[in-house]
Amino acid sequence: MGILLFGAAKDIAGVPVLDKPEHITDVATLKAWLYEVYPSLQQLRSVMIAVNRTYAADTQEISSQDEIAVIPPVSGG
Amino acid sequence: MEILIDIKDTITVEEALAFIQAPECGGEVIFAGTVRNHTKQRPVLKLFYECYEAMAISEMQKIAAQVAGKWDVQRLAMLHAVGDKYPGDLAVVIAVASAHRGVAFDACEFAIDTLKETVPIWKKEFFADGEIV
């Protein structure tokens, strides 16, 4: 399953979905990879990762079966 | 507690109010959030709201569960609009009903404050000067 992108993160990447590289097995590694590939993400106030529709800590492991999403600062309401 | 949660193109205060009205409730509090025609004194033409719908619904359900745990509230409606919204359009409605007004005010404020912090919905602002943020 790919990595879903929303809001400013989608605009920075230029696509709504990214393929997850094989070597990424936890949230911290995913964030490091995202910041390396898309340095502009570091300018956002925050970047959260959701795993299976729940906010995930950096230590959380991820597998290719998980639904992963990049969540820039939310601005609903 | 009875809960109505929805995310769709167009929402109304009436549907939220109709859902929360109940004979056992004497206090109905409604927060309606509408699109402003300016941000920090810069004219705004429209907003575009997008959401990660499955997670947004899940986060709204978590807020409802917190409300149910904290306050003696009988009914809660949380509606959010998506898509293009123009000044004056309704973007969000939180409606709470309880036996008395005090807890309904508190629960309503908590629900909208938490929604703005945790629910994955994003707005893009289209300014009159052409900038899009």
Q: What is the pLDDT of residues B44-83, one digit of tens each?
A: 999 999 999 999 999 999 999 999 999 999 999 999 999 9
What is the model's pLDDT at position B18? 98
Quick one: A61 exposed, middle or buried, by C-beta within 10 A (0-12, 13-18, 19+)? exposed
- State the architecture of A3-71 in CATH terms: Roll (3.10)
Record the tokens describing residue B68, joined without a space.
């149910």
B83 in reach of chain A (CB within 8 A): no
Q: Which residues contact B116 (CB under 8 A, 6 or more apart)?
A: A74, A75, A76, A77
Answer whether CATH 3.90.1170.40 is correct for domain B2-127. Answer: yes
| pTM reported for the whole predicted model | 0.96
Q: Where are the domains of chain B?
A: 2-127
Which residue in chain B is spatially nearest to A50 when comparing CA positions? B55
Q: How does residue A64 score in pLDDT terms, banded at 50, 70 and 90?
A: confident
Cβ pair B58:A4 closer than 8 A: no
Q: How many other C-beta atoms lie within 10 A of the C-beta of residue A1?
A: 13
Q: Which residues of B1-133 form beta strands (DSSP E)?
A: 2-8, 27-34, 38-39, 42-51, 75-81, 83-85, 90-98, 121-127
Contact B49, B122 (CB under 8 A): yes
What percent of chain B stands above pLDDT 70? 100
In B, residues 90-119, which contact A (CB 8 Å cutoff)?
91-92, 112, 115-119
